[in-house]
Amino acid sequence: MALCGYSLKRLCAVLSPLPLFRAVQIFEWIKKGAHDFSGMTDIPLGMRQELATRFSLFDSTVQTQRSDSTGTTKIGFKLRDGAIIESVLLIDQKGRSTACLSSQVGCPLGCTFCKTGSMGFVRNLKSAEIIEQFVQLHAGRESIDNVVFMGMGEAFLNSDALFESLDILCTDWHISPRRITVSTAGVAAGIAMLSAQKYDIRLAFSLTTADSQLRERLMPITKTNPLPLIKEALCNYQTHHKQRITLELVLLKNVNTRPDDIQALISFAHGLNVVVNIIPWNTVEGISLQKPTNSEIHSFAQALEHAGLNVTRRFGRGSSLSAACGQLGYRQ
């Protein structure tokens, strides 16, 4: 039985009848990056030896770990049942760190531009398996600045584990909710659940295009969660949480950069407080799409800015590791 991914409250119950302060000590050692009980020097040696016979700290093992020149690191984790997931620690130009966590093994949504979507769906992750990713990415660092649920899978289709993980990160790891973002391809029920949360978690919506027919072809989830339903859910979210929503647009050459796409996006964003994050498509082996040209990107962004929208561009950090947006998907 592994202890790493538990909340402090659950850890106390699991370790009972040990006194509360011992559970707190073990939890703090986990937060410091301990990988076994041997180095927990403020716990008596005999107790450490007994704990080692009953528990492990981690349920997963690091299968692969690669870093690039920016400090971005991608880790492949092998889970107890042999399944593999990937998560990423991104470092931006100012040295700020972001842990990108996976919520599922594979993904059931089948977005045509995403490597994870091409894998199909294996299973949901348990909350402990989600938190273990964070702990491993945190190891050796004083802190992690931001957490994003943008890795493998659709987090809102694993809502129980997602919200349990969010509670652990906010309550036990003291991560500010405003530094946590949940990304969704468009699950209206999940957005509604996030709206009802006490924490002001940030929300990102992977829109890609506001042309409904094109979006159905690119992102089949649109058939069951049409854009009018999603917009209603986004409006409700902003009624409860005064947070700016990120609209993520994966730009595909000659596919979703048309004037019609620009006008549809402007219309969709009307009445919402949003920032549009332009993500030039990251190449995925076996998917016959193309990156947009710099001219396409510039013209698209300029048209949105002229319409009064806030626009940012993501620069594909981690792409040399196949760790950028849409590239996660471990193949054994």
Residues 6+ apart with CB under 8 A from 135: 4, 5, 30, 31, 33, 58
- Is residue 234 pLDDT above 90, yes or no? yes
Q: What is the mean pLDDT of the chain?
A: 92
**What percent helix, strand, coil does the chain show, rounded to 5?**
40, 20, 40
The Cα angle at residue 328 between residues 322 and 332, in degrees rounded to 5 = 95
Mean of the pLDDT values across residues 247-259? Answer: 94
232 tagged catalytic: no
- Predicted TM-score (pTM) of this structure: 0.93
Do 94 and 42 fall into the same domain? no
Instruction: Give pLDDT tens digits for 114-123.
Output: 989 888 999 9
Residue 71 is predicted with a pLDDT of: 84
Do 24 and 75 fall into the same domain? no
- Structure-model confidence comparison of residues 315 and 187, the more confident one: 187
Confidence class for position 319, pLDDT limits 50, 70, 90:
low
Distance, CA of 166 to chain centre: 11
Asked whether residue 326 is assigned to any structural domain, the reply reads no
Asked whether residue 332 is assigned to any structural domain, the reply reads no
Do 31 and 105 fall into the same domain? no
> In angstroms, rounded to a whole number, what is the distance separating the alpha carbons of residues 57 and 51?
10
Q: Which domain holds residue 230?
A: 61-321
Whether the CB-CB separation of 273 and 238 falls below 8 Å is answered with yes
Q: Which of 4, 12, 111, 325 is catalytic?
A: 325
Do 47 and 123 fall into the same domain? no
86 tagged catalytic: yes
Instruction: Give pLDDT tens digits for 3-36.
Output: 999 999 999 999 999 999 999 999 999 998 898 9
Do 169 and 298 fall into the same domain? yes
Do 47 and 184 fall into the same domain? no
Do 47 and 65 fall into the same domain? no
Residue 329 is predicted with a pLDDT of: 79
Q: How many helices (H) and strands (E) does the chain have?
A: 11, 12
77 burial via Cβ count (<10 Å: 0-12, 13-18, 19+): buried
Do 240 and 266 fall into the same domain? yes
Do 211 and 76 fall into the same domain? yes
| CATH value at residue 112 | 3.20.20.70
Residue 332 is predicted with a pLDDT of: 46
Do 187 and 304 fall into the same domain? yes
Residue 47 is predicted with a pLDDT of: 95
Q: Give percent of the chain above pLDDT 70.
A: 96
How many folded domains does the chain comprise? 2
Residue 306 is predicted with a pLDDT of: 95
Give the dihedral of Cα atoms 273, 306, 181, 144; nearest 10 deg. Answer: -130
Whether the CB-CB separation of 248 and 183 falls below 8 Å is answered with yes
Q: Which of 86, 129, 154, 248 is catalytic?
A: 86
Asked whether residue 301 is assigned to any structural domain, the reply reads yes
Do 37 and 69 fall into the same domain? no
